[in-house]
Amino acid sequence: MKEKEICDYFIEYEYKNNLFDLTIGNVKIWIYLREIVYCDILKIKGCINDSFTQLKNKKKYDSIVSLFIRNKAYKYVFNNPLKKVEESDLLILTHPRRIKNAGFYDCTVFDPILEHINNKYTVLEEPLWVDSLADFESHYSPVRTRNLIYSDRIEFLFEMKYRVNKFLAKVFRIKVLNNKEIKIIKKILNGLDEIFNVNLNKGKYIDLFGKFYLYESFTTHKYEQLIKKINPKLILEYYSPTRTKQVMNRIAANNNIPTLDFQHGMFARNEPLMVNYFKKIKLDNFPDKILLFGEFWKRGVRFPIEDDNLISVGYPLFDEKKSKLKKVNKNKYITFLSQGKIGVELSKLAADLSILLEDSNSEYTILYKTHPFEHNKWKHEYPWLLNKENIKVFDSNEKDIYYFFEQSVCIVGVYSTAIYEGAALNLLTFIYNGYSSNELEYLYSNYNNVNLVSTAEDIINILNLKKNEEISKANFNEIFKENSIENIKDFIDWELNR
């Protein structure tokens, strides 16, 4: 069963079984878990690698001491965000992933926009370790983002409470969930087992159901206090289905505060799951509207919100970088854009290409850019990249993707916004025929600088054929609408004043 079929069956099952209405206490719990369960099914079926996950000795990192010291939570947990905020027109829910730019770590979604906004705003950032234990930081610094507060205190206090509750439950044999709730969860998972011929870890999900139930119960009041003090007219967000944003969106919905998501990555029919649903459905944890890079991104994706809530505005970072991109000597570097879900296959392709280049005495060097979730684990997961003279691995956020575009004669990847950006900047682009590569068929079917490849030999052959060709500039306005800053400013003003 391929990933497209798995996605189709999965979203149909959750819709027809009313999983979005499943409550524990008064908490609608499925939205926290759907992506975790879905990715586990994909892993069991061999569709993807263990992408955002398992560090060696995971238990060593999943502890209060590790979060406090290794992830540097001690820098932030003593700062109470409630004491630092003032009333603002806009509350911005950003993401802790940042890229170094001129000595600062920038949020690539909001920093290019904020300097053009005249309204008073507050920016809230959750810690990196909420999303991935592989990040040995809480936040990147220094930053240029103004009016920035952190949610670490609330998140860390929950982690402490959760571990105390877990210890007491083990000692006194207390269950977070009652037998009826456990029976319902097992029935849901058994249904998925039957459809996909898998054996999901029931104990793991029962624990997670309990954890997210406790999370929403514990944090809702604290985030309600924060939102009440800020009193925003509008919430802008970098939406990903993290627990913090689920709670914040639910509070916003209950208080009639509109929420706008800014597209920050590739959208396709089955990737990512967070925007794909079987039917249109009202979800109080999902943003009210999505501001898209362009009209193209409405195609194929099964958004839960109505089509008139999908607004094409453009991509500010792309507009900014496109105007500043320098012309450099593009004859020595081939950049690989890694993704955790297919990192094993892509890194092996890079290693195979390295051997071919070496055998032919080629001057090309491979620049292998890891995804942030791979930074701290590629050495033990992709050991074939080690000790290669013609492979340089970049495993930090010190250089943004446009640095690699400037340096490279071509790029290689699978599914990523960066593939669209590189192609739109006229780079020779190779899409590896692997997980979700079919989602980029529009690119390799319509643009002559984009090619689908299966082997390192394919890359060599096409590179030799096209390296001296002049690539004709194509129109990518449907993918990246122009004048993004003005479009966004106009739309925010309209939302605030309507």
Regarding whether 205 and 348 lie in a shared domain, the answer is no
> Could you tell me if 333 and 347 are in contact, meaning their C-beta atoms sit under 8 angstroms apart?
no
Domain coverage including residue 167: 3-315
Regarding whether 37 and 169 lie in a shared domain, the answer is yes
Regarding whether 219 and 345 lie in a shared domain, the answer is no
Instruction: Name residue 28's beta-bridge partners.
Output: 23
Regarding whether 28 and 152 lie in a shared domain, the answer is yes
Is 481 inside any structural domain? no
The confidence score (pLDDT) of residue 52 equals 46
Regarding whether 118 and 250 lie in a shared domain, the answer is yes
Regarding whether 327 and 307 lie in a shared domain, the answer is no
| Contacts with 359 (C-beta within 8 Å, 6 or more apart), sequence order | none
Instruction: Name residue 392's beta-bridge partners.
Output: 367
Is 46 inside any structural domain? yes
The confidence score (pLDDT) of residue 173 equals 84
pLDDT tens, N- to C-terminus, the chain (498 residues): 888 899 999 999 999 999 999 988 889 999 999 999 999 999 999 887 765 444 444 454 556 777 777 667 788 888 899 888 999 999 999 999 899 888 899 999 999 999 899 999 999 999 987 876 555 678 999 999 999 999 999 999 999 999 898 888 889 888 888 899 999 999 999 999 999 999 999 999 999 999 999 999 999 999 999 999 999 999 999 988 889 999 999 999 999 999 999 999 998 887 788 899 999 999 999 999 999 999 999 988 999 999 999 999 999 999 999 888 866 556 689 999 998 888 999 999 999 999 999 999 898 999 999 988 888 889 989 999 999 999 999 999 889 999 999 999 999 999 889 999 999 998 999 999 987 888 899 999 999 899 999 999 999 999 988 776 666 677 899 999 999 999 999 999 999 998
- From 299, 315, 331, give the residue that closes a domain: 315
> Could you tell me if 352 and 317 are in contact, meaning their C-beta atoms sit under 8 angstroms apart?
no
Query: 406 to each of 327, 339, 388, 423, how far by Cα in Å?
Result: 7, 21, 23, 13
The confidence score (pLDDT) of residue 422 equals 94
Is 497 inside any structural domain? no
| Contacts with 341 (C-beta within 8 Å, 6 or more apart), sequence order | 42, 48, 49, 51, 435
Regarding whether 227 and 136 lie in a shared domain, the answer is yes
CATH number reported for the structural domain that contains residue 375 in this entry: 3.40.50.2000
Regarding whether 245 and 327 lie in a shared domain, the answer is no
Regarding whether 327 and 310 lie in a shared domain, the answer is no
Cα–Cα dist 89/94, whole Å: 16
Is 410 inside any structural domain? yes
Regarding whether 328 and 299 lie in a shared domain, the answer is no
Residue 473 tokens, joined: 């500039």
Is 310 inside any structural domain? yes
> Could you tell me if 91 and 121 are in contact, meaning their C-beta atoms sit under 8 angstroms apart?
yes
* Residue in 277, 273, 225, 223 with CA at minimum distance from that of residue 250: 223
Per the structure, how many domains does the chain have? 2
Identity of the amino acid at 482: E
Q: State the pTM of this model.
A: 0.92
Regarding whether 67 and 199 lie in a shared domain, the answer is yes
Q: What is the dihedral of CA 22, 28, 32, 38, to 10 degrees?
A: 20
Residue 147 tokens, joined: 């009016």
Regarding whether 283 and 403 lie in a shared domain, the answer is no
Residue 170 tokens, joined: 């083990």
- From 258, 291, 315, give the residue that closes a domain: 315
Cα–Cα dist 322/214, whole Å: 45
